[in-house]
């Protein structure tokens, strides 16, 4: 039962009705039924289709459907719809391949009904009876057009049906097969039920008798009952029960879709967002796909949408509005350019853009700034980078993300869309203090922030596509052995606590880390050439102190000073 208590439905008119499966399929065939552009892809598997038919034959209800009546009063020329799929290809695991629907303007003289809830079930019934289905061979690329024809068959020989399997959820043996040319004489192709001789009640009995003639004697009654049942479910019983909503505009239809379309595979946040966008901008998915390649490959739809909210709307909101969608569509060239320029800022600083695939919120204020300063932004990239380093090292977005973005938006606008150190100092969580710098030094190996610290202090020499690992300078295991002479037990225990912290860590090339292993730092250093020693001291901020373990306390404090000075140069 639908709940229409919300205010936006108060002016709409509802009607309830029911029709047969065959009538519904005819409505799809003639184009009377269409789907809104915000409908998701067809995602059902072959097994789900088989179980749907089994449920129908067993007399289980297949739930209600939700329709939206469309006409000149609630649909405009730029409102897009799509037809039901006539041909579906499944992958080797028998799940539907991801195929996007083709969007088109609707012809209201033919199409007057948009399906809001029930797309998966109606599509499954349609391809079983009117459409075609194929299987993509294993290991074949999706773009390849080669596929294997498959048909939905029902077994009429009762003796061949396995009723002993307690885990078998189906009562009827109904399944797809790709061995079309080798189908047994007792297997009935469900599409054949559409022949005129089965449609017509006056010729149906004779048609069934001709099929049953090939069935073993002890299964003829069973086969006759199954075929009569199949005809009844398709032609006679009004199993497609639907509620149709009249006088409803597209925005309300979208709200209804999001609210009620939860059958089958649940809609993800990005699914809903893209559905909304495509309702107003037919090529949204294609344009997003073009943006989320190269530097931004793997970032995902939500990143783009959140940035659009930052620029055009309310960044706290999650669902995209029509106005934001249209602003994004109309300003797409400038929007995309801001992404490109942001990526260039990072690359010029030797920062790998892909690092932000799972922490992209930190980039949104930068894109906001760059978008609003398409030329002048080059004059304050220093402030942009200082913001980036502070936000990362001070874990600004560890909680309250949208609230933090809203704060950044407000301050950037107050500073005429510029990001500067003065602006950053107005935000308490981004303000630099000695306590915060000290806290950075207390992070330990393996912590995410530790990795960020070591990465950003190493930007001058780090290389792309090279795997680096966090490594102890003085080997960590050494601090769990006997203390050196002259070092007290208490002092040794304190050193052990410090040994896993940032001042005793650096980044080392993966294979170099393996070769260094537990080698004492002094020995590791002495094993280098003079040029390697200079590079090591410079890249790893090694102080001019003895590297012998007995001097660990002085080494630790002096290196901490060097690291803090380096971090200050990045963020102040």
Residues 6+ apart with CB under 8 A from 88: 42, 96, 99, 123, 127, 131, 132, 133, 134
For residue 272, what pLDDT is reported?
67
The Cα 62–Cα 52 span in angstroms is 8
What's the average model confidence in pLDDT over 316-333?
Answer: 84
The Cα 22–Cα 233 span in angstroms is 9
67 shares a domain with 164: yes
Residue-wise pLDDT for 484-510, tens only, equals 999 999 999 999 999 999 999 999 886
| Cβ pair 489, 495 in contact under 8 A | no
For residue 193, what pLDDT is reported?
97
565 shares a domain with 484: yes
Is 233 contained in some domain?
A: yes
Residue-wise pLDDT for 254-310, tens only, equals 767 766 654 444 555 666 677 778 767 878 888 999 999 999 999 988 899 999 999
Is 42 contained in some domain?
A: yes
163 shares a domain with 16: yes
516 shares a domain with 421: no
Instruction: Answer with the residue of higher pLDDT: 449 or 139.
Output: 449
290-296-301 Cα angle (round to 5)? 70
pLDDT band with cut points at 50, 70 and 90 for residue 1 = very low
- The pair phi, psi for residue 191, each rounded to 5°, is -60, -25
Is 133 contained in some domain?
A: yes
What's the average model confidence in pLDDT over 366-383?
Answer: 95
- The pair phi, psi for residue 95, each rounded to 5°, is -110, 150
What's the average model confidence in pLDDT over 436-457?
Answer: 96
Is 320 contained in some domain?
A: yes
Is 416 contained in some domain?
A: yes
Residue 163 above 60 pLDDT?
Answer: no
- The pair phi, psi for residue 203, each rounded to 5°, is -110, -5
Instruction: Answer with the residue of higher pLDDT: 42 or 566.
Output: 566
Element (H, E) at 535: helix 530-539
Last residue of a domain, one of 414, 431, 448: 431
13 shares a domain with 154: yes
For residue 533, what pLDDT is reported?
95
Low-confidence winner among 18-22, 114-118, 200-204 (lowest mean pLDDT): 114-118
426 shares a domain with 457: no
Domain count, the chain: 3
Q: Determine the structural domain holding residue 55 and report its residue range.
A: 7-246
409 shares a domain with 444: no
For residue 463 the two structure tokens come to 């290389």
- Could you tell me where the DSSP H helices lie in 376-474? 381-393, 401-414, 421-424, 434-441, 448-456
The Cα 345–Cα 547 span in angstroms is 38
Is 258 contained in some domain?
A: no
Last residue of a domain, one of 403, 431, 459: 431
pLDDT band with cut points at 50, 70 and 90 for residue 448 = very high
Residue 475 above 50 pLDDT?
Answer: yes
The Cα 306–Cα 304 span in angstroms is 6
Instruction: Answer with the residue of higher pLDDT: 199 or 143.
Output: 199
Query: DSSP letters of 248-290?
Result: --HHHHHHHHHHH--SSSPPPHHHHHHHHHHHH-TTHHHHHHH
The Cα 214–Cα 188 span in angstroms is 11
The Cα 44–Cα 151 span in angstroms is 16
What mean pLDDT, rounded, does the chain reach?
A: 88
135 shares a domain with 26: yes
Residue 10 above 50 pLDDT?
Answer: no
Helix or strand or coil: residue 175?
strand
409 shares a domain with 293: yes
pLDDT band with cut points at 50, 70 and 90 for residue 143 = low
pTM of this prediction exceeds 0.75: no
Low-confidence winner among 128-142, 256-270, 337-351 (lowest mean pLDDT): 256-270
What's the average model confidence in pLDDT over 520-544?
Answer: 94
Query: In whole angstroms, what separates CA 553 from the centre of its chain?
Result: 48
Q: Evaluate the CA torsion angle 347, 348, 351, 356 in order and state its sign.
A: negative
171 shares a domain with 59: yes
Nearest-CA neighbor of 36 among 119, 98, 97? Answer: 119
Nearest-CA neighbor of 406 among 377, 374, 432, 368? Answer: 368
In order of 115, 379, 571, the CA distances from 565 in angstroms are 63, 25, 10
Instruction: Answer with the residue of higher pLDDT: 547 or 76.
Output: 547
146 shares a domain with 48: yes
Is 518 contained in some domain?
A: yes
Last residue of a domain, one of 388, 414, 431: 431
Residue 2 above 50 pLDDT?
Answer: no
Residue-wise pLDDT for 172-201, tens only, equals 999 998 876 666 889 999 999 999 999 999
Is 211 contained in some domain?
A: yes
Residue 110 above 60 pLDDT?
Answer: yes
313 shares a domain with 171: no
């Amino acid at each position: 039962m639908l709940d229409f208590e919300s205010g936006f439905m108060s002016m709409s008119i509802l009607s309830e009705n029911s029709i047969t499966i065959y009538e519904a399929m005819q409505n799809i065939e003639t184009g009377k039924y269409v789907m809104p552009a915000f409908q998701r892809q067809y995602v059902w598997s072959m097994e789900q289709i088989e179980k749907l038919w089994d449920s129908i034959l067993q007399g289980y209800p297949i739930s209600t459907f939700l329709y939206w009546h469309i006409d000149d009063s609630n649909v405009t020329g730029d409102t897009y719809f799509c037809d039901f799929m006539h041909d579906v290809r499944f992958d080797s695991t028998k799940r539907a391949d991801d195929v996007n629907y083709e969007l088109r303007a609707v012809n209201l003289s033919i199409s007057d009904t948009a399906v809001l809830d029930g797309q998966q079930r109606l599509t499954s019934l349609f391809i079983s009876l009117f459409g075609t289905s194929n299987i993509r061979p294993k290991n074949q690329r999706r773009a390849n057009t080669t596929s294997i024809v498959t048909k939905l068959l029902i077994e009429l020989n009762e003796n061949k049906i396995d009723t002993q399997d307690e885990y078998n959820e189906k009562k009827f043996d109904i399944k797809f097969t790709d061995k079309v040319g080798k189908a047994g004489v007792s297997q009935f192709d469900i599409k054949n039920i559409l022949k005129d001789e089965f449609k017509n009640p006056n010729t149906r009995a004779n048609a069934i008798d001709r099929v049953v003639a090939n069935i073993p004697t002890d299964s003829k009654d069973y086969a006759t009952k199954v075929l009569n049942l199949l005809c009844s479910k398709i032609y006679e019983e009004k199993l497609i029960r639907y509620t149709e909503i009249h006088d409803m505009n597209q925005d309300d239809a979208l709200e209804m879709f999001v609210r009620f379309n939860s059958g089958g595979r649940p809609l993800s946040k990005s699914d809903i967002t893209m559905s909304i966008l495509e309702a107003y901008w037919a090529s949204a998915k294609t344009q997003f796909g073009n943006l989320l390649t190269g530097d931004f490959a793997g970032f995902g739809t939500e990143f783009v949408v959140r940035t659009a909210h930052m620029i055009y709307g309310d960044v706290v909101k999650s669902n995209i509005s029509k106005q934001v969608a249209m602003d994004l569509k109309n300003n797409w060239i400038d929007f995309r350019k801001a992404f490109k320029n942001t990526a260039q800022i990072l690359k010029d600083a030797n920062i790998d853009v892909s690092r932000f695939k799972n922490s992209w919120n930190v980039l949104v204020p930068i894109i906001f700034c760059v978008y609003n300063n398409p030329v002048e932004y080059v004059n304050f990239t220093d402030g942009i980078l200082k913001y980036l380093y502070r936000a990362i090292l001070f874990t600004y977005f560890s909680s309250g993300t949208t609230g933090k973005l809203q704060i950044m938006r407000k301050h950037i606008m107050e500073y005429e869309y510029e990001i500067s150190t003065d602006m950053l100092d107005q935000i308490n969580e981004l303000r630099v203090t000695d306590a915060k710098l000290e806290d950075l030094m207390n992070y330990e190996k393996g912590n995410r922030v530790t990795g960020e610290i070591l990465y950003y202090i190493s930007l001058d020499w780090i290389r792309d596509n090279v795997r680096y690992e966090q490594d102890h300078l003085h080997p960590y295991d050494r601090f769990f052995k006997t203390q050196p002479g002259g070092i007290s037990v208490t002092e040794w225990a304190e050193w052990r606590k410090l040994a896993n912290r940032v001042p005793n860590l650096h980044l080392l090339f993966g294979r170099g880390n393996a070769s260094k292993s537990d080698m004492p730092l002094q020995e590791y250093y002495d094993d280098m050439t003079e040029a390697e020693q200079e590079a090591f001291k410079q890249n790893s901020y090694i102080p001019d102190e003895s590297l012998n373990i007995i001097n660990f306390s002085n080494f630790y404090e002096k290196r901490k000073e060097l690291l803090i000075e380096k971090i200050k140069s990045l963020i102040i």
